[in-house]
Structure 1
Amino acid sequence: MKRNKQIDIKGALALASTFHFLYSCARACILPFLTLTKHLISLVWSPLASFLSKHYNKRRAVITGSLVCSAGAALILLLIPSTGVETQPLTLSSTVSMSKATTYTLQLQHSNNVTSQWSHVNVSVANHSKGGKRNREKDEDRLEFLGSLKVMDVQHQLFFMLLIVVSIWELMAAPLEWTVDDGLYEYLDFVDASDRYSSTGVWGLLGAVCGASGAGLLVSHLDCLIGSHTPREAVHFYSYAAVTTLAVPVVAFLPLYLNKKRSRSTGLFKALQLVRGDLRALLCAATAFLMGLAGSAVDDLLLWQMQDHGSSELHMGLSLAVPLLSRAAFPLLSGRVSKLLSPGRVLLVGTVCLALQCLYYSLLWGPWTAIPVQVLSCFSSGALWWAVQVQCEDVTTPGTERSVRRVYQALSLDLGAGLGSMAGGGVAVMLLLWCLFLPLLQWKAPPQRRINYSRLLASDTSEVSESESEQETDWLEKALEDDEQ
């Protein structure tokens, strides 16, 4: 890229915002279906894939391949045989429930097939009986393995098949966000416009709002349009594939730039050291972890709770869209909130609001009752992420801002969310207990004053020049006084 080339920053931001909107919309269409597998794979594979694509300068190819392959994986998931029971569009566990008649029929077929296999295994053992003791031991191990498959029921086989497909799906989709963000940030940094990098984040939230509410609205009105043999949940996956396909042409024009000077290090190790060396940063990291744990448990269990009270797909879609929209509105209030409360207090208030939300979810009594409390996400998730952002600015050094932010995101959105999918309920009590200890721990951890170089560079030049002239005047007057003495 030549420096004399005309750079269209507004156009680059518009393209990046369009991509974030479309991809977030696609992800929100299948939000209830990806839980534990998504978080754990993303925790490991996202940074590694981002580094490899940067090292070999294949970012655009990785982004395009991820979009196409993830859309294909979503459609392949629909090819797995139906379970034959009433549909429950919540998590992967709902797709492995089977009626007694269907289970019995499939088990008979499976038993006969495993018996065509046992005869071949017996012939194989007879043919290799002269191969010595070692070969016999291998054949015995193989027989034991086949025996374990024989006792495995169809539901477990179907579950493992789904798990493999979803894992491949997430492996394809995980590199997208990090790779796009790296390319966009380095592009803006190259043209000295990195301060406008965060403006694309709100479009991702708005895209997720459209995806969650749109998918719920679409599925709730398709009872008379889809076939009797097609489950309504398939619309979520078709929507994901369709919107992801729309994002593919945008990739060809995405502003991506490879900064070869920084290609050797991602800065994550240094960011971990910065967070570990500050007590308040550690408290913020622990809160982010609990926030991710609670958020994942809510995503996994809230829709089941709503369905038990007669909620439709439309109710569920709105219950996912409202908190995203309210969270996007918090930056409009952050200026006033920062004048009233310190970032530490905002962190405490956000944790309390999140705990109250989780407690409220266990007391639902009707189809619509979960939606009003979702507005509180503006002061729970929105306030918590704002406080985390401020904490990042306090502990960072030049060049490590995004790496520190990613440490907090990994702790919350990947590690905490992954463990939350396994832990399940009880998060409200855990958050309330943390609210009791957090003020005491913050009081014991005095803030460390660091020089924020970004703010110094963004300060008014005139003020800097005036301060420098005042220092020079003071130095000159002091020198003249010394001479007179």
Structure 2
Amino acid sequence: MKRNKQIDIKRSLALAGTFHFLCCCARGCLLPFLTLYFRQLGLTPAMTGVVMGTKHLISLVWSPAASLLSKHYNKRRMVIIGSLVCSAAAAVALLLVPPAHVGTRAAGCNASDLISGPTQSLAADLLRSSVAPATMTTTSTRTRPENATAPVSTPGLPRPAKTVVDTESAPVPTSKTAPNRHYDDDGSHPRLSEKNASGDPNLAPRTIGSSTAAVRNKRSSFSFFSGSGEKQEETKESRLGFLGSLKVMDPQHQLFFLTLLIVSVWECASAPLDWTADDGLYEYLDLAYAAERYSSTRVWGLLGAACGVGGAGVLVSRLRCLLAYQMPRSAVHFLCYASLAVLALPAAACLPLYLNKKRDRATGLFKAVQLVRGSPLAALCAVTTLLVGAAASAVDNFLLWQMQDHGSGELHMGLSLALAGLSQAAFPLLARRLSKLLSPGRVLVVGAASLGLQCFYYSFLWAPWAALPAQVLSCLSGGALWWAVKVQCAEVATPGAEKSVSRVYGALSLHLGSGLGSLAGGFVVQQFGLTWLFRGAAVGVMAWCVCLPLLQWKAPRQRRINYSRLLAAGASEASDSESEQERDWLEKAMEDDRSNNNCGRRIEN
């Protein structure tokens, strides 16, 4: 007979906590700063919203599907390890995407970055990009800024103006020298000068003539030998399909599609990690009748995220650039993410996992959706989490943009987000007192209202450290809200379906709500600016918080069946009936005994 292996619960929880800490620390190093990196590359707010929304929607669909497939084929550990390796490689591959403008990537390697903020260095690059075309007067092509005096179309988004190269209308000099037009000291009479910027009067004209002739000879020879060069180029692009259409786009749209492709592959690689690891660990603890201790690993995840975002902010603020490869400082976020993902591989290899083939997660999710839909209070909680997820996406995606516009650097951003994570992790210390003061329904309202106040506060930032006080409210907007959701899950779920119901709420908030909020938020910033995005999110959430208590009061109450009380009541009723039967039998026996004794006495007499 094969001896059962003894389960060490403390060791299992320690390994699970280490794994969650490292994974969340890796995400904290990169994901909060990802949209800021997209801004440095040159993506517009609408493009950034589409990329982030696609990321959340892919995770909404692929996470449960990948978890189900890994369970069906019993490949959970392989999926976890492969997800860590592939996500690290995809994140580093995003560094290979070239920026839409030349000056954006060089902004991270200036020696003055430690003194001036990111906005100031970007403004310096804009100034250099606008002055440089004016000094290049000896080139064969003339550059003219497009909408040079017009204001930037996107509020709160400084980016260099596009330059259009006009090669057809540029006059080709016929003489040996290419005179440059200058003005006298009084600025009234123009005069001609044959000197170029370097002072050599013969250098620029010869270069211009030779380069122009070379271009013409190349074009004529290509047309002569091929018959029609333009037709062949069009045929080649049509054969390439998507790559050909991508080639004819402007640099900004090329950047957008390349970024969208890489982020989609990255999310497909990283999405199965959480669900697969959680399923295996939960079933392992459930086998040892310790499933209630599974929630303790969430605190380690919050602490890891706080350490990751704070440590990355401090580290990047102390570096100028990677001197070996002349890469920007933002590359440190990607390298830290990849390093911590690889560091989590030993913990993933030792992570306690169990496969319970009797549990079907697909039917469990469908049953959980039916349970949530069947309860009015649970449905109101689901709508609340959806709206909170949409509003939280505005904070996650564009808060760093708002802070950057007011002079914040990586240090300010990292420490602010770290304070938010620490305050959220500290909520379990206040949960018992808060539960005595407010009901779970009111706690849900307070958590959503706290998020609305945060968004409203973010629209009035005025200094680099101004966002720091509002991060303390994350204790309520994150910790209290999800505590109320957990209580609602316990009230709705049937025995064995608690985790499935919790995942329904998580998918509504973290994936569906964040995806829709990212798409809408990007277009709002594009049209109205960052300030009105936060104010609109605050107004929407606060309006729902006003209506939610009234809807909760009007919703019909469904009393939950307490199975333990039913069993206790059944046992007590059975004991009462048994005692009554015993008492009846005893009384009857005593009466019979009395009657017999009385009969005996009568006979003796």
Structure-1-length-normalised TM-score: 0.85
Q: 2:314–2:410: 8 Å Cα contact kept in structure 1?
A: yes
2:354 aligned with 1:257: yes
**Aligned residue runs from structure 1 range 128-147, under 5 A:** none
Deviations 1:316-340 (A, max 9, x none): 1122111111111111111111111
Match of 2:62 in 1: 45
Match of 1:380 in 2: 477
**Shift in alpha-carbon separation, 1:120–1:53, aligned structure 2, 3 A:** farther
Shift, 1:446, TM fit: 3.1
Q: Secondary structure at the match of 2:436?
A: helix
Deviations 1:91-115 (A, max 9, x none): xx999966646x869xxxxxx99x9
**Which range moved further: 224-233 or 325-334?**
224-233
**Which range moved further: 28-37 or 70-79?**
28-37
Q: Distance in 2 between matches of 1:46 and 1:470?
A: 48
**Which range moved further: 242-251 or 470-479?**
470-479
Q: 1:98–1:155: 8 Å Cα contact kept in structure 2?
A: no
Match of 2:591 in 1: none
Q: 2:58–2:268: 8 Å Cα contact kept in structure 1?
A: yes
**Shift in alpha-carbon separation, 1:366–1:339, aligned structure 2, 3 A:** same
Q: Distance in 2 between matches of 1:202 and 1:250?
A: 17
Q: 2:307–2:418: 8 Å Cα contact kept in structure 1?
A: yes
Q: Distance in 2 between matches of 1:259 and 1:121?
A: 63
Match of 1:71 in 2: 88
2:449 aligned with 1:352: yes
Which residue, 411, 424, 427 being the options, matches 2:537?
427
Shift, 1:228, TM fit: 8.0
Counterpart amino acid of 1:432? M
Which residue, 278, 282, 286 being the options, matches 2:375?
278
Which residue, 439, 442, 459 being the options, matches 1:362?
459
Q: 1:55–1:264: 8 Å Cα contact kept in structure 2?
A: no
Q: Distance in 2 between matches of 1:73 and 1:199?
A: 30
2:427 aligned with 1:324: no
Q: Distance in 2 between matches of 1:274 and 1:118?
A: 71
2:182 aligned with 1:85: no
Which residue, 397, 410, 414 being the options, matches 2:494?
397
Deviations 1:175-212 (A, max 9, x none): 00000000000111112111111111100000000111
Q: Secondary structure at the match of 1:370?
A: coil
Match of 1:130 in 2: none
Q: Distance in 1 between matches of 2:161 and 2:81?
A: 41
**Shift in alpha-carbon separation, 1:224–1:47, aligned structure 2, 3 A:** closer
**Shift in alpha-carbon separation, 1:325–1:140, aligned structure 2, 3 A:** closer
**Shift in alpha-carbon separation, 1:472–1:55, aligned structure 2, 3 A:** same
**Shift in alpha-carbon separation, 1:143–1:120, aligned structure 2, 3 A:** farther
**Shift in alpha-carbon separation, 1:167–1:154, aligned structure 2, 3 A:** same
Shift, 1:270, TM fit: 0.4
Match of 2:592 in 1: none
Which residue, 324, 330, 333 being the options, matches 1:233?
330
Counterpart amino acid of 2:576? T
Which residue, 154, 158, 161 being the options, matches 2:251?
154
**Shift in alpha-carbon separation, 1:372–1:264, aligned structure 2, 3 A:** closer
Match of 2:403 in 1: 306
**Shift in alpha-carbon separation, 1:183–1:474, aligned structure 2, 3 A:** same
Q: Distance in 2 between matches of 1:244 and 1:271?
A: 32
Give the aligned CA root-mean-square deviation in angstroms.
3.5
Match of 2:506 in 1: 409
2:561 aligned with 1:451: yes
**Shift in alpha-carbon separation, 1:4–1:293, aligned structure 2, 3 A:** same
Q: 2:443–2:484: 8 Å Cα contact kept in structure 1?
A: yes
Which residue, 76, 80, 88 being the options, matches 1:59?
76
Q: 1:393–1:452: 8 Å Cα contact kept in structure 2?
A: no
**Shift in alpha-carbon separation, 1:142–1:285, aligned structure 2, 3 A:** same
Q: 1:351–1:380: 8 Å Cα contact kept in structure 2?
A: yes
Identity %: 63
**Shift in alpha-carbon separation, 1:264–1:302, aligned structure 2, 3 A:** closer
**Aligned residue runs from structure 1 range 96-135, under 5 A:** 100=162, 122=231
Match of 2:17 in 1: 17
Q: Distance in 1 between matches of 2:329 and 2:545?
A: 41
2:575 aligned with 1:472: yes
Shift, 1:472, TM fit: 1.5
Q: 2:237–2:244: 8 Å Cα contact kept in structure 1?
A: no
Number of paired residues? 455
Q: Secondary structure at the match of 2:63?
A: helix
**Shift in alpha-carbon separation, 1:441–1:310, aligned structure 2, 3 A:** same
Deviations 1:243-263 (A, max 9, x none): 001001111111011101124
Q: Distance in 2 between matches of 1:46 and 1:95?
A: 34
**Aligned residue runs from structure 1 range 175-186, under 5 A:** 175-186=272-283
Q: Secondary structure at the match of 1:177?
A: helix
Match of 2:193 in 1: none
Q: Secondary structure at the match of 1:261?
A: coil
**Shift in alpha-carbon separation, 1:179–1:477, aligned structure 2, 3 A:** same
Counterpart amino acid of 2:92? L
Counterpart amino acid of 1:65? G
Gaps of 5+ in 2: 36-51, 109-117, 119-153, 167-217, 522-532, 589-605
Match of 2:301 in 1: 204
Deviations 1:206-225 (A, max 9, x none): 00001110111110000266
**Shift in alpha-carbon separation, 1:95–1:251, aligned structure 2, 3 A:** farther
**Structure whose CA Rg is larger:** 2
Match of 2:285 in 1: 188
Counterpart amino acid of 1:433? A
Match of 2:552 in 1: 442
Q: Distance in 1 between matches of 2:27 and 2:247?
A: 37
Match of 2:208 in 1: none
Q: 1:96–1:159: 8 Å Cα contact kept in structure 2?
A: no
**Aligned residue runs from structure 1 range 241-252, under 5 A:** 241-252=338-349
Structure-2-length-normalised TM-score: 0.69
Shift, 1:287, TM fit: 0.5
**Shift in alpha-carbon separation, 1:143–1:54, aligned structure 2, 3 A:** closer
Q: Distance in 2 between matches of 1:468 and 1:359?
A: 56
Match of 2:28 in 1: 28
Deviations 1:63-110 (A, max 9, x none): 1101001101111111222442245899xx999966646x869xxxxx
Q: Distance in 2 between matches of 1:123 and 1:345?
A: 69
